[in-house]
Structure 1
Amino acid sequence: MRDDGTLDDPYAPSSPTTGTEDGTSSERTTAASRLRGYARDLTGRRRAQVALATGVVCCLGLAAVAQVRHETADGAPRVDSLANSSELLQRADQQRASRDLERVASSSTPSATPSGTPSAAATSADPDTTPKARKTAPALPTDPAPVAGLDEDQMENAEAIVRTGRKMGVARRGLVIAVATAMQESNLYNVASGVLPESQDYPHQGVGWDHDSVGLFQQRSSSGWGPVSGLMDPEFATRQFLTALEQVPGWQQMRLTDAAQAVQVSAYPEHYQQHEWRATRVVEAIVPSGR
């Protein structure tokens, strides 16, 4: 305030010619105020820039979150991933199943085919080899030592009779009758005939003179039993005898001597009976009971 009561104008320019201390102080104050204003202005601009950058970042973040929420709500990405996972699991199961099938098939494949066991499959059972379908084969005769006073040749001839009868499926009783008949007719030797020189051309174990009777059963070719070459073969001769025996009605219930006589028509019909016990023992030695 001036001395005259008037106020100083703060905005009035100072006199350039004024070199007082008051003028210098006023200029300094004004410069400082301008600097502070410029600083405030600069700070405000920086804050505005920071705020703008922050806002942009927030907007981008919100947009990303919104996009994720949209995709999650949509379900498409998750469904695709689940579908792909399910498909992969199914393929893995199929591959594992196929490998298992290959192992089963290779293990069940028969070697020549264990048949080629099977398998399977090669896998169906052969009805001819299953236990239920397989027929019980007759037991093969053994090769025992001679019994009942027989020698090696006689025992071998008895074995030929029993073996042939078993092949034909003749009952055990028929085997006993055949062995007893051969004991009576030829003493269980394969005998040729002196009357029939042809019979001596074949393996034989003696020569008889009862007409043209030959072989274990002394059968006559002239009576229709067969060719001499056949009758000198123990197996052929046995077949001829047993075939005729099975044609006799009720032969299994007959006495041994009656059954033998019905086939042989011998002049001494009762002589066959004496050999029954020995014939039974021989058959038992060759084919034990129960076989």
Structure 2
Amino acid sequence: MALLAVAGYLAVQYVTGGAGAPGCKVASGKGGRTPYEFTPEQAVNAATITAVGTARKLPERAVTIALATALQESALRNLDHGDKDSLGLFQQRPSQGWGKPEEIMDPAYSAGLFYDHLVEVPGYLDLPLTDAAQRVQRSAFPDAYAKHEPDAELLAAALTGRSAATLTCDGRPGSTPEKGPDAVRAALVRDFGHAVLRPAGAEVADGAGTGTGATRSARASEERTVTVPVTGGTGTGGERETERRGWQVAHWAVANASSLHIQRVTYAGREWTAGNTDSKWSPTGTEGAKGAERAAGPVRITSAW
């Protein structure tokens, strides 16, 4: 009995990615599905996989395939072990030409390598998900990926920005968090590439000058804030694409809240603050979320310090 209890506990830890409550949640934009709950570690890795795919201008279906594959192979955990010499999010093997161990353990590298192989599969967008994944992975369990498709679709909708204001994390920092706006900027470039900081660049206010009381408090907040410009095409379709891009960056920031010590994320008249796990973004300002979305503006990411 005791051994069975221990085995059950370890199984839960493997699936959830660690001890305690999951801490992150993605709600269905349509409100008709059970929310998907996962850990901050899993959220960071899912956001990286998504960002690498969209930076290559791959469609959401490609991201869904990648996320389902990583859910099956590692439960979205960057594992330093596996079957034989398998490593990382996708359990890629150095001995089979997937790269050096230190490369495979880089989530952005391993995600990019998965996409490199996926796009070489003829008609992969039209294949059943498990078939497309299997043609890349060549797993001993070729049908295993299918069961993760619903969760991967929910994650992809949020992390590509198609489903707005649906991802939240509690934002509690880990034991060795990176800190400050410089860490946020570096992580943005790591996942999205340098283009995420263009055309105007992600700027941090200089905080120059003096003041007292509320003025000093506001200036301190500005000093910790990275402003990420969001641009897209023109016309109605371009506005939708711009907003989608903005929500992708905003959700990425929430997913990274614990590791980067992010306190607040603001976009399109909505605001997320650390400690909120009810999958709701609060309206900002007096116009309400709908009015502000018409002029969504940049994504503002504020660090705790």
Provide TM-score, normalisation by structure 1: 0.44
Kindly indicate which of the two structures has a greater share of residues assigned to helix.
1
Kindly indicate which of the two structures has a greater share of residues assigned to strand.
2
- Larger RCO (CA within 8 A; separation ≥ 6): 2
Provide TM-score, normalisation by structure 2: 0.42
